[in-house]
């Protein structure tokens, strides 16, 4: 019986699956890489708690995991997808003053996944849109509902 060709995997290779086990074959088929995908959920939570929420630098901190369609970092809580920069903003500044307030980036790099809590503040939609014009990100490609 042949073993999966991925180093460290001792699972038997599935027949007709390019010498990969079923798990690695599915990742190869979906992502083009047998090691892609499959980040353990606890790893995301640990990174959020131990890196993002404790970050003290003035540099942008780019979320290295899943991002939504316009580049903002996201994390799953049950069936709900939460935006990482909103979690970071709330951790540093408390809950938003109203449900309509958005987590606005002072750096203008939210669409690149910046989640540095010190780059965030609560802002009205109008204030956030004004920031986007200043940062040159108001071309309609980036979500304004953040």
State the DSSP code for 61: -
pLDDT value of residue 92: 96
Note the CATH number of domain 41-135.
3.90.75
Q: What is the pLDDT of residues 76-110, one digit of tens each?
A: 887 788 999 999 999 999 999 999 999 999 999 99
3-state secondary structure of 62: strand
pLDDT over 70 (residue 145): no
* pTM score of the predicted model: 0.70
User: Which H/E stretch holds residue 132?
Assistant: helix 125-135
96: which residues sit within 8 A by CB, 6+ positions away?
Answer: 89, 90, 102, 103, 122
Long-range contacts for 45-53 (Cβ within 8 Å, ≥24 apart)?
A: 45/75, 48/75, 48/84, 48/87, 52/84, 52/87, 52/88, 52/115, 52/116, 52/117, 53/88, 53/91, 53/117
For the chain, domain boundaries: 1-38, 41-135
Q: Alpha-carbon Rg of the chain, whole angstroms? A: 19
Q: What is the pLDDT of residues 1-33, one digit of tens each?
A: 789 998 888 899 987 777 889 888 888 877 777
Backbone angles phi, psi at 26, to 5 degrees: -60, -40
């Amino acid at each position: 019986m042949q073993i999966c060709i991925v180093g460290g995997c001792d699972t038997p290779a599935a027949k007709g699956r390019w010498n990969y086990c079923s798990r690695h074959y599915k990742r190869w088929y979906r992502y083009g890489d047998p090691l892609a995908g499959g980040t353990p959920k606890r790893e995301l939570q640990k990174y959020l708690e131990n890196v993002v929420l404790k970050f003290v630098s003035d540099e942008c901190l780019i979320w290295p995991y899943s991002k939504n369609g316009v580049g903002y970092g996201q994390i799953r809580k049950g069936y709900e997808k939460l935006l990482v920069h909103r979690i970071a903003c709330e951790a540093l500044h408390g809950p938003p003053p109203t449900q309509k307030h958005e987590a606005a980036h002072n750096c203008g790099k939210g669409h690149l996944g910046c989640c540095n809590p010190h780059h965030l503040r609560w802002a009205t939609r109008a204030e956030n849109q004004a920031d986007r014009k200043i940062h040159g990100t108001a071309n309609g490609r980036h979500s304004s509902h953040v």
